[in-house]
Amino acid sequence: METELRTGVFICHCGINISGVLDIEDLCEYARTLPGVVTVQANLFTCAETGTSEIKAAVKEHDLNRVVVAACTPRTHEPIFRASCQEAGINPYFFEMVNIREHCSWVHRHDKEGAQAKARDLIRMGVAKALFLEPLETFRSKVEPKALVIGAGIAGMTSALAIANQGFEVILLEKEVEMGGLLRHLHKVAPSDMTAAELIGEKIAAIEKDKRIQCFTSAALEEVTGYVGNYAVRFSCGDESYSDKVGVIIVATGGASLKPVDLYNYDGEHVITQSELEIKLKDGNIGAKSIVMVQCVGARIPERNYCSRICCMVGIKNSLHIKEIVKDAKIFVLFRDIQAYGVENEALFFKAKEAGVRFIRYSLESPPVVEDGKVKIYHAGMGKEISLPADLVVLSTPIVAHDDAESISRILKVPIDEHKFFLEAHAKLSPLDFATSGIYLCGNAHYPATVREATYQALGAASRASIVLSHDTVERVGTVAAVKEELCSSCFACVKVCPYQVPHMNERGKAEIEPMQCQGCGICVAECPAEAIKFAYVSDEQITAACEALYAA
C-alpha cells in the first residue's frame, strides 16, 4: 500500500548569493546520501523559469512525490515552488523549502566552514521533514451576498450605504427606536459647521430610500453561527424574531458617553455634561454667562486609563458655539492635556483662544473643586488656588463602551479589551478586521472616534467586507487543525485555549473544529492532552523528524 517516497532536492546558487559562500557541489553530494532522495540538482536560479522547468521535468523523469528546494526564504518564494509542484502534478503541500540564503550564506559569510555545516544540517532536516509532509485539501464554501451591520449610528449607516451601493443587500440593526446613534443628540459637528441633524438626516433618508437595505430598529442580535461567507444570524425586532443568512458582519455598535455620577457635584442642572450642553446649544438657550468646562472627567484615571480623544475638541467646539449665542460669555476650560491633532482641529483650538476662551491646566493630584456658583482650581502659573465664577459647569466625560458590548462580543465570538472596546485583529496590518474572517469593525465600538474617523473606518470596513461579498465562494487552504474524534477525551482544553473560540463540543460530545473558522495557529494541537488534534500542515511527525535530523552523529 505504502507508496515509495521519492524526494528530489534542488539547490539554488542564487547567482553568487548562495554559491559565493557555500560549496554547492558538496551540498549536492551530501543531499544524495540522505534517505528518500532520488535526485539532486543544482540550479543557477531555481526560481527562474529555467529552474522551475527543471523541477517539473525532474518530477516526471524521476517520478518524484516530494520536492525540497534549498534556496532563499519560503516567505517570498514558497508559492512559486508550490505552483511548480502543482503544475507537475503533485500536491503543492508535498513541498518543503530550506532557507540557505537569508539564514545561512548571507549571515555567515566570514565562517564558510560553519556555514557549510549549517547548510548540510538544514538540508538534512528539510529532507527528513519532507518524508512526513501531507497533502492538504482546499475547503470551498458559498458566499451569501448579504451583509449584517450592527448599529445604525454614523459608522453603521455609512457602512450599510457603502455596501448597498456596491449592489449587495444589507440588514441594518439598531437597538434604539430610531437611527442616528450618538449624533441624534448633538448640535454641530466639528470641525465643519454642519449640524448633526443634517448629517444623519441625509443618511437616514438615503437608507430609507434604498431597497437593498432592510433596517430594523428596536432590534437585538441574538445568535450568530457559521463562518465567513456563511453566517446564520438570528435577531429580534420588537416581539418578532428573524433569522437570515449573511456573508459578512460589520460591528458598528458605537459607544456611550459616561454619566459622571458622583463626580464634581454633577446634578444635570448647574453641573452638566457636554452632551447635555449640546441640547442647550440646539435650543439656543444657554442660561449662563460664566461657564467652566472640566476635561478628562472620569478619564485617564487609574480605573479608566485611556484618553477618549474626542472630548477636547468637543469642549473647544462647544466653547465657540456658546460664544456665538452668548457673546460676552466667560469660558474657562480646565484641562490636563489638549488633544487637538490635525490641521482643522488645531486651527479651531487657536480660534477658541483668540475668541477669549481661557485654558487652565490642572493635574490629577489637584483636581478642580466644584462648589455652588464657583470652581476652585490650583493655578500652576500663579502658584496658588484661584476661584472661577461659574453659573454653569460642563463636564467632559469620555466615550465608554456600551453595556451590551460584552454580550455582542460573546455572540460573535470576537474579543473586547479591558475597557470593553472591540479589539481588531492587528493594529496596523488589519485595523478594521477581527481575527475571525468575515467580521469587521468601525467607529466608537472600537475606540472613541470623531465623526470623520468613524466615517473613514466605516467606508474601510465596507470595502473589506465587499471583498468577500464580491466572490461567489471563499476558499480556505487546509492549513487547519482537525480533531481525531476517536481519540478525543472531551477535556475542553482546545475549547479553552483557542484564541478564536473555534473548537466546540459536537452532539457526540467530542471536540470539533470547523475548518472554515480555524486560523491554523496550532495552539490547541500542542495543548491537547490526548494528542487527538491533527495538524497536517505542521504535524508532530514533521517537527519530530526535523528534531531527529538536527544532529548527524
Partner 1 sequence: MIVAERKPMEEILAEIEDFQKILVLGCKGCTTVCCSGGPKEVETLSTLIRMDRKQKGKEVETLEASTELQCEPESVKPMLENLANQYDVVLSMACGAGVQTVAKLFPDQRVFPALNTNFTGMAEEHGVWTEACLACGDCILGKTAGICPVTRCAKGLLNGACGGASEGKCEVSKDRPCAWQEIYHGLKRLNLLHYLKEKPQVKAWPIHPGKVVREDLRQEKAT
Partner 2 sequence: MNNFEPLIAVFSCHYCSYAAADLAGSSRIQYPPNTRIIKVPCTGRISVNHILRALECGADGVYVAGCLEGTCHFVSGNFKAKQRVQSAKSLLGEINIEPERVQMYFMSAAEGSKFANVAKEMTETIKELGPSPLKGTNTQ
Q: Which spans of this chain sit near partner 2 (rule: CB under 8 A)? A: 73-75, 99, 101-104, 106-111, 114-115, 117-118, 121-122, 125, 415, 426, 435, 479, 497, 499-500, 519-523, 525-527, 535, 537-538, 540, 543-544, 546-551, 553
Work out the number of other CB atoms within 10 angstroms of the CB of residue 146. Answer: 20
Nearest residue (CB) to partner 1, 447 versus 535: 535
Is residue 315 within 8 Å of 293, Cβ to Cβ?
yes
Instruction: Choose among partner 1, partner 2, none what residue 490 binds, the Cβ cut-off being 5 to 8 Å by kind.
Output: partner 1
Is residue 291 within 8 Å of 329, Cβ to Cβ?
yes
Instruction: Choose among partner 2, partner 1, none what residue 148 binds, the Cβ cut-off being 5 to 8 Å by kind.
Output: none
Nearest residue (CB) to partner 2, 459 versus 538: 538
Nearest residue (CB) to partner 2, 342 versus 499: 499
Is residue 57 within 8 Å of 39, Cβ to Cβ?
no
State in Å, rounded, how far the first CA of the chain is from the last one: 32
Instruction: Choose among partner 1, partner 2, none what residue 106 binds, the Cβ cut-off being 5 to 8 Å by kind.
Output: partner 2
CA distance linking residue 412 with residue 406, whole number of Å: 10
Nearest residue (CB) to partner 2, 104 versus 360: 104
Does 202 participate in binding partner 1 (rule CB under 8 A)? no
Instruction: Choose among partner 2, partner 1, none what residue 204 binds, the Cβ cut-off being 5 to 8 Å by kind.
Output: none
Closest CB 119 distance from partner 2, rounded Å: 9
Q: Is 371 helix (H, G, I), strand (E, B) or coil?
A: strand
CA distances in angstroms from 455 to 157, 312, 340, 442, 470, listed in the order given: 9, 20, 19, 8, 22
User: Strand 358-361 and strand 330-335: pairing?
Assistant: parallel
Residue of 531, 548, 550, 552 interacting with partner 1 (CB under 8 A): 531
Instruction: Choose among partner 2, partner 1, none what residue 493 binds, the Cβ cut-off being 5 to 8 Å by kind.
Output: partner 1
| Adjacency order of strands within the sheet including 169-173 | 213-216, 169-173, 146-150, 248-251, 439-441
Q: Is 291 helix (H, G, I), strand (E, B) or coil?
A: strand
Q: Is 550 helix (H, G, I), strand (E, B) or coil?
A: coil
CA distance linking residue 396 with residue 150, whole number of Å: 27
Is residue 242 within 8 Å of 141, Cβ to Cβ?
no
Closest CB 110 distance from partner 2, rounded Å: 6
Nearest residue (CB) to partner 2, 90 versus 122: 122
Nearest residue (CB) to partner 2, 30 versus 235: 30
CA distance linking residue 154 with residue 99, whole number of Å: 49
Closest CB 546 distance from partner 2, rounded Å: 5
Is residue 392 within 8 Å of 398, Cβ to Cβ?
no
CA distance linking residue 121 with residue 124, whole number of Å: 5
- Binding positions for partner 1, 39-98, rule CB under 8 A: none
Q: Is 126 helix (H, G, I), strand (E, B) or coil?
A: helix
Instruction: Choose among partner 2, partner 1, none what residue 523 binds, the Cβ cut-off being 5 to 8 Å by kind.
Output: partner 2
Nearest residue (CB) to partner 2, 369 versus 521: 521
Q: Per-residue string for binding with partner 1, 459-498, x by CB under 8 A?
A: ----------------------------x-xxxxx--xx-
Closest CB 522 distance from partner 1, rounded Å: 14
Nearest residue (CB) to partner 1, 214 versus 490: 490
Instruction: Choose among partner 1, partner 2, none what residue 111 binds, the Cβ cut-off being 5 to 8 Å by kind.
Output: partner 2
Instruction: Choose among partner 2, partner 1, none what residue 38 binds, the Cβ cut-off being 5 to 8 Å by kind.
Output: none
Phi, psi values for residue 25, rounded to 5°: -60, -45
Instruction: Choose among partner 1, partner 2, none what residue 121 binds, the Cβ cut-off being 5 to 8 Å by kind.
Output: partner 2
- Binding positions for partner 1, 9-48, rule CB under 8 A: none
Closest CB 104 distance from partner 2, rounded Å: 7
Nearest residue (CB) to partner 2, 125 versus 199: 125
Instruction: Choose among partner 2, partner 1, none what residue 342 binds, the Cβ cut-off being 5 to 8 Å by kind.
Output: none
User: Strand 230-237 and strand 219-227: pairing?
Assistant: antiparallel
Closest CB 532 distance from partner 1, rounded Å: 8
Exposed (0-12), middle (13-18) or buried (19+): which is 97, by Cβ within 10 Å?
Answer: buried
Does 529 participate in binding partner 1 (rule CB under 8 A)? yes
Please choose, from the candidates 201, 207, 185, 27, the residue with its C-alpha nearest in 3D space to the C-alpha of residue 121: 27
User: Strand 255-257 and strand 399-401: pairing?
Assistant: antiparallel
Closest CB 524 distance from partner 1, rounded Å: 11
Task: Give me the DSSP letters along 79-103.
Answer: HHHHHHHHHTTS-TTSEEEEE-III
Number of residues that bind partner 1 (CB under 8 A): 12
Gyration radius of the chain over CA positions: 31
Nearest residue (CB) to partner 2, 73 versus 387: 73
Residues that bind partner 1 (CB under 8 A): 487, 489-493, 496-497, 528-531
